[in-house]
Amino acid sequence: MVFKEIFLKKSVIITLSLILFFLIIEFTLDPVEIILGEILEATNPIRPKSGTIWELSEQNLGAAEDLSQISPKPESEQQAPEVDTVYELKVALDERDVVLLSSEQFLKIYNMLSPAAAGQIISPFDLLRFSHDQSWVWTKISKSDDRLSIFFLKGDNEILTDSYPDISVLYERPFGSETRIKSLESLPEFRGRTFTAQQFFRAFNQLPRPTKLQLINNPYRLLQWHQHISKVGISNGIQDYTIQIAFEVADQLDTKIYTFQASTIAANHFINQLNSLYPELNLKMPEF
């Protein structure tokens, strides 16, 4: 019994001694660790950069720099220039390497281009989608000798899509089949061949996409006008194998007539669809 008590006392003394030893070591090494850490931090810039961690860090920095070159600065750092026409865009591109436009500015310019030129830049259906989900905020445009580089960007500079059209798209004749007139019915080629915007869109929306494009080659215009379209008409004649589709667009200040050149095949499909939905219209096919 006495031997057991002596053994327990020695065990407690040894345990306490070990704990005290480790505490002394810990408090003794703390200043050493602090000094070593300060030395490493001070010599960090001049120490050789090698190893997997350094290589990954360098790759991340390089990727960030590349992205910053592609994506423009946010609005607070880089204000878009006052560019609202094709001419102003050409002047801006001559003056600087890169032009940054808001989505609203780009849409104004896009609608001034001929449908053929606009289609080389981006499909109007893609613009409709970007505008509808409000993901598109900026458009970055740069110019080389014979080509444009166009990036469509989110607000955080993520690229939605890019395009590299020929620079000639800026020198096409502007989209301008616009006539100021009081009403569509006053034009002989459309008299008795008009219908409401609601009738047009109901028939138009049931057509296949390729037929829609042959009928209206710049569908973004419809989105721009749809709240102000009072009447739509189809011409009674065929010229150069095309048929005119006209829109009477009225706002508080004026009434304008906008026309599109539609293929005869697409126009015939549309007239058939329209007559099947609204037999009372009884539209005849245009004639040569």
- Domain final residue, candidates 142, 171, 200: 171
Q: Evaluate if residue 98 carries a pLDDT over 80.
A: yes
| Rounded Cα gap, residues 104 and 8, in angstroms | 86
The per-residue pLDDT for 96 is 81
Same domain, 156 and 198: no
Assigned domain for 140 exists:
yes
Same domain, 271 and 193: yes
Is residue 121 within 8 A of residue 165, CB to CB? The reply is yes
Same domain, 161 and 182: no
Assigned domain for 76 exists:
no
At 51, is the pLDDT very low, low, confident or very high (cuts 50, 70, 90)? low
Q: How many structural domains comprise the chain?
A: 3
The per-residue pLDDT for 74 is 43
Angle subtended at Cα 178 by Cα 113 and Cα 265, rounded to the nearest 5 degrees: 80
More confident site: 95 or 2: 95
The model's pLDDT over 76-86, given as tens digits with 9 standing for 90+, comes to 335 556 788 88
Phi, psi dihedral angles at 270 (to 5 degrees): -65, -45
Coil vs helix vs strand at 244: strand
Assigned domain for 150 exists:
yes
| Rounded Cα gap, residues 258 and 158, in angstroms | 36
Coil vs helix vs strand at 90: helix
Q: Cα dihedral sign for 242, 247, 248, 254?
A: negative
Same domain, 131 and 194: no
The tokens describing 89, both together, are 């865009």
Can you state the angle between helices 264-277 and 197-204, rounded to 10 degrees?
Answer: 110
The model's pLDDT over 192-246, given as tens digits with 9 standing for 90+, comes to 999 999 999 899 989 999 999 889 888 878 877 877 888 999 998 887 778 889 8
Per-residue HEC secondary structure of 16-69 comes to HHHHHHHHHHHHHHHHHHHHHHHHHHHHCCCCCCCCHHHHHHHHHHHHHHHHHH
The per-residue pLDDT for 25 is 57
| Whole-model pTM over 0.85 | no
Same domain, 182 and 166: no
Assigned domain for 283 exists:
no
| Rounded Cα gap, residues 64 and 94, in angstroms | 28
Mean pLDDT, rounded, of the chain: 76
Assigned domain for 246 exists:
yes
Assigned domain for 7 exists:
yes
Same domain, 166 and 183: no
Is residue 158 within 8 A of residue 178, CB to CB? The reply is no
The model's pLDDT over 16-32, given as tens digits with 9 standing for 90+, comes to 666 665 556 555 555 55
Assigned domain for 25 exists:
yes
The per-residue pLDDT for 206 is 92
The per-residue pLDDT for 164 is 92
Same domain, 158 and 217: no
Same domain, 204 and 147: no
| Rounded Cα gap, residues 143 and 207, in angstroms | 38
More confident site: 74 or 180: 180
- Domain final residue, candidates 154, 171, 188: 171
Q: What's the mean pLDDT in 30-56?
A: 55
Q: Evaluate if residue 13 carries a pLDDT over 50.
A: yes
Residue 75 CB contacts under 8 Å (≥ 6 apart), including other chains: none
Same domain, 187 and 255: yes
Residue range(s) defining the domain that contains residue 166: 86-171
Question: Which residues of the chain form beta strands (DSSP E)?
Answer: 98-102, 138-143, 148-153, 159-163, 178-180, 194-195, 229-234, 242-250, 255-263
More confident site: 144 or 270: 270
Assigned domain for 80 exists:
no
Same domain, 163 and 201: no
Same domain, 141 and 188: no
At 149, is the pLDDT very low, low, confident or very high (cuts 50, 70, 90)? very high
Q: What's the mean pLDDT in 175-191?
A: 68
Q: Evaluate if residue 280 carries a pLDDT over 60.
A: yes
Same domain, 264 and 182: yes
